[in-house]
Amino acid sequence: MTERAERRGRGARSARREEAAQAHGAPYIVRNIPTYDILSEENLLRIEHTADRILAEIGIEFRDDPVALDHWKRAGAKVDGLLVRFEPGMLREIVSSAPAEFTQYARNPENNVQIGGRNVVFAPAYGSPFVMDLDKGRRYGTLEDFRNLIKLAQSSPWLHHSGGTICEPVDVPVNKRHLDMVYSHIRYSDHPFMGSVTAEERAEDSIEMARILFGADFVDRNCVILGNVNVNSPLVWDGTMTNSLRAYARANQAAVIVPFILGGAMGPVTNAGAIAQSYAETLAGCALTQLERKGAPVIFGNFLSSMSLRSGSPTFGTPEPAIGSMVIGQLARRLKLPLRCAGNFSNSKLPDGQAMQEGLMSMLSAVHCGANFILHSAGFLDGLLSMSYEKFVMDADLCGALHSYLAGVTVDDNSLAFDAFEEVGPGSHFLGSAHTMRNYQTAFWDSALSDNEPFEKWSGEGGSTDIAARANRQWKKVLAEYQAPPLDEAVDEALRDFVARKKAAVDDAWY
């Protein structure tokens, strides 16, 4: 950790402690518990060795991107048509120039986040074409939904990042959507955000809007926008993605490199093999950013998933990807790269028990594996296809609990409380003791959505609600009370001009 990061970390910790009492979050979490390392050195080496063999003997195809192929040739890889093969160790050497930790700046500097090291950043879910709520059910997402979800994220004390394609605004043409999305993040949130990757020029537009907001010089020197790029697993990088990846790297912005591997379909049905493949694919993407611009920030990403034997459907929040994520974390730390891994996933179509059980199993794996940037921390239902308004606020509340979880157990004279035992002694109680009075306000996480009343009160004045019904009330209240953070008028106008100009220059395209 750099000295600067450590200063930030310390600041964040003490600030967090103070703010916790007022139910405010921290700009990001500095974890105070270790990662959960489940695999031996010997087995990690076997996985790395298999990844090396995949890279050297099978290779990865890079389609529709001659510049990428040129990069590989110059770096000494074996290029045979579109197929690129890499000598063992070559990619690890290349990625060693990427920073182990970096700051992503927000337009409100209090919301800057530190990505890498012991830091944890929660960002909303990303990419659903549908939205759902308990009143109106499931429908295609719109720009209004997109803005609503940004407002919910901005209003939560427990989410640190505005995310990116928080839902697909399907009512806006595909080739203009990115402009409205990036503008909405800037306008309705003052947290860090992500840009488009669906075409190189859309990535460039996203970065250009960041330049309007932060200034071109600042952007060239600092990370202010992330782009999440996917591998076309198994072992294919498409040009759309590598062109966007290179656009972000060229601008010194961080690409997040993510294979999505559904075991048995895009990768082997066994965890160790899927992990080896994922490692190989991500490593190649991370290395490509360094060939485009040495020292550019990059995030080592991963998304393992499983399959139902009965239906052939993908399954989420199951034990195998959760446990596999812990291994991914161990491998990423050996590379000294910031990690994005797992998130809050469920295949349930409702914010029910299945949704929260699957979501938490997956989310805790992200927390345990040491992920630094946890995309998909809030909102997903329906196997990634829908953003649920209720689930969003339930997950954000869970993120609050995870702030307390990651704070671990403090061991000092105050927390050991020997004075309390002297005061209370056997057979009495601690309710009014000096130690309790001194500590109770910050002692325990207090959920805004969980019901902890006695049964009689819950079933009486409580109205016998389940948590989904309480979440339904909650998101409406939050939206009603939302106030946009102030934005400099000149910057706002420049951004709106840019969007208008770009939109006017091309015809609508809907696919």
Is there a contact between 302 and 59 (Cβ–Cβ < 8 Å)?
no
Q: Which is nearer to a copy of itself, 96 or 459 (CB)?
A: 459
Among positions 153, 235, 341, 495, the unique one binding a copy of itself when judged by CB under 8 A: 235
Of the listed pieces 139-147, 194-202, 221-229, 262-270, which binds a copy of itself according to CB under 8 A? Answer: 262-270
CB of residue 13 vs a copy of itself: minimum separation in angstroms? 16
Residues 278-317, interacting with a copy of itself (CB under 8 A): 306-311, 313-315
Nearer to a copy of itself among residue 203 and residue 366 (C-beta): 366
Judged by CB under 8 A, the stretch of 142-150, 208-216, 443-451, 498-506 that binds a copy of itself is: 443-451
Q: Are 217 and 211 in contact (CB under 8 A)?
A: no
* Long-range contacts, 138-143 (Cβ 8 Å, 24+): 138/349, 138/382, 138/386, 140/168, 140/170, 140/171, 141/167, 141/168, 141/169, 141/170, 141/387, 142/169, 142/170, 142/171, 143/169, 143/171, 143/172, 143/180, 143/184
Question: Could you give the CA distance from residue 440 to residue 436 in angstroms, rounded to a whole number?
Answer: 5
Measured from the CB atom, is 156 or 175 closer to a copy of itself?
156
State in angstroms the smallest separation of the CB of 183 from a copy of itself. Answer: 30
**Any idea which residue has 């330049």 for tokens?**
211
The binder of a copy of itself chosen from 436, 476, 487, 491 (CB under 8 A): 436
Beta bridge partners of 157: none
Which residues between 317 and 336 bind a copy of itself (CB under 8 A)? 318-320, 322-324, 327
Query: How far, in Å, CA of 95 to CA of 286, rounded?
Result: 6
What span, in angstroms and rounded, lies between the C-alpha atoms of 475 and 480?
8
Cβ 56 vs Cβ 87: under 8 Å: yes
Nearest distance from residue 382's CB to a copy of itself, in Å?
A: 6
Residue 293 C-beta-side C-alpha neighbours within 13 Å: 17
Binding piece for a copy of itself, criterion CB under 8 A, among 10-18, 54-62, 66-74, 108-116: 54-62
Q: Residue 294 or 477: which CB sits closer to a copy of itself?
A: 477
Among positions 2, 13, 19, 37, the unique one binding a copy of itself when judged by CB under 8 A: 37
**Choice between 57 and 217, CB closer to a copy of itself:** 57
Closest approach of a copy of itself to the CB of residue 41, in Å:
12
Task: State the number of binding residues for a copy of itself (CB under 8 A).
Answer: 125
355 part of the interface to a copy of itself, by CB under 8 A = yes
Q: Which is nearer to a copy of itself, 93 or 453 (CB)?
A: 453
Q: Indicate whether 434 belongs to the interface with a copy of itself (CB under 8 A).
A: no
- Minimum CB distance to a copy of itself smaller for 184 or for 388: 388
**Whole-number Å distance between alpha carbons of 257 and 198:** 14
Distance CA 389, CA 378 (A): 10
Query: Of residues 81-100, which lie at the interface with a copy of itself (CB under 8 A)?
Result: 83
Alpha-carbon distance 290 to 73, whole Å? 14
Alpha-helical regions (H) of 238-270: 239-250
Any contact of residue 38 with a copy of itself (CB under 8 A)?
yes
Nearer of residues 339 and 398 to a copy of itself, judged by Cβ: 398
Please tell me the distance from the alpha carbon of residue 192 to that of residue 180, in angstroms, as a whole number.
16
Q: How far is CA 226 from CA 106, 107, 288, 292, 406, in A?
A: 12, 14, 16, 16, 25
Q: Give me the 136-175 binding string for a copy of itself, x by CB under 8 A, dash otherwise.
A: --x-------------------------------------
Q: Are 94 and 291 in contact (CB under 8 A)?
A: yes
Question: Half-sphere exposure of 43 toward its Cβ, with a 13 Å CA cutoff?
Answer: 12
Binding mask 369-408 for a copy of itself (x = CB under 8 A): -------------xx-xx-------x---x--xx-xx--x
Q: How far is the CB of 157 from a copy of itself (least distance, A)?
A: 15
CB burial readout 208-221, b (16+ within 10 A) else e:
bbbbbbbeeeebee
Rank residues 57 and 507 by Cβ distance to a copy of itself and give the closer one.
57
Q: Does the protein bind a copy of itself through residue 424 (CB under 8 A)? A: yes
